[in-house]
Chain A
């Protein structure tokens, strides 16, 4: 079964600084999708960024970018110029076929 691991239960970053959240996954498939979701205290799950495994180029969405290492099965999220509104739980997720698996989450605090 596919698994998603986020080894950092909690992280903190100073406002305007850069932080990287780690995610590793286990799969035997070659064509799948990876996502980062953000869940602020309001509890609304928000899609931050997605990556298709067949694409070698790392996805970027404004201040959010990923480092996708397919061979290492690693999918880290980099947040640049961190803002107070970035404080939330961040979930890494894997999707293949009808399987959608979430990691346990990383709680990110942003310090003013």
Chain B
């Protein structure tokens, strides 16, 4: 079974620009979550999508948005980039198997804002 894939792996953008990151979950997983990881704030939850609907949202400004497609692939968009948005963005796909919950992460997209 293929793992979670994220594209692109690295990205450099300028302040004020916007960016779109993509995540393809593990086959059969319908839930996709996004996290921001920075040295100062650690891992912070951005949002979760399930069956094309945003099911949960973290404490981030409206510049951060996402969506999920019918094939469970998800995109995350950040508009009007700020220097503080430089981070590793991790996508995770998850599913319930019986009474067990599993969540697996992709390799991440390293975003640098200059």
Taking CB atoms, residues of chain B closer than 8 Å to A16 are none
Q: Which residue of B lies closest to A55 (CB)?
A: B99
Q: Is A47's CB under 8 angstroms from B43's CB?
A: no
| B-binding segment of A20-28, A63-71, A72-80, A100-108 | A100-108
Q: List 15 A-B contacts (CB under 8 A).
A: A35-B103, A42-B107, A43-B88, A43-B110, A44-B105, A44-B107, A45-B90, A47-B103, A47-B105, A54-B99, A98-B55, A98-B56, A100-B48, A100-B103, A105-B42
Q: Is B100's CB under 8 angstroms from A102's CB?
A: no
Which residues from chain B sit less than 8 Å from chain A, CB to CB?
33, 35, 42-43, 45, 48, 55-56, 88, 90, 92, 99-105, 107-108, 110
Q: For this complex, into which size category does the number of interface residues on chain A fall?
A: 20 to 34
Q: Is B105's CB under 8 angstroms from A52's CB?
A: no
Return the contact of A95 from the options B35, B43, B90, B103 (Cβ within 8 A): B103
Return the contact of B105 from the options A33, A45, A98 (Cβ within 8 A): A45
Q: Is B107's CB under 8 angstroms from A43's CB?
A: yes
Given A43-B107, A44-B108, residue A102 in contact with residue B42 (CB < 8 A): yes
Tell yes or no: A91 within 8 A of B by CB.
Answer: yes
What separation, in Å, do the CA atoms of A72 and B55 have in the docked complex? 31
What separation, in Å, do the CA atoms of A4 and B37 have in the docked complex? 16
The 7 closest A-B pairs by CB, nearest first: A45-B105, A98-B56, A102-B43, A44-B107, A33-B101, A104-B42, A43-B108
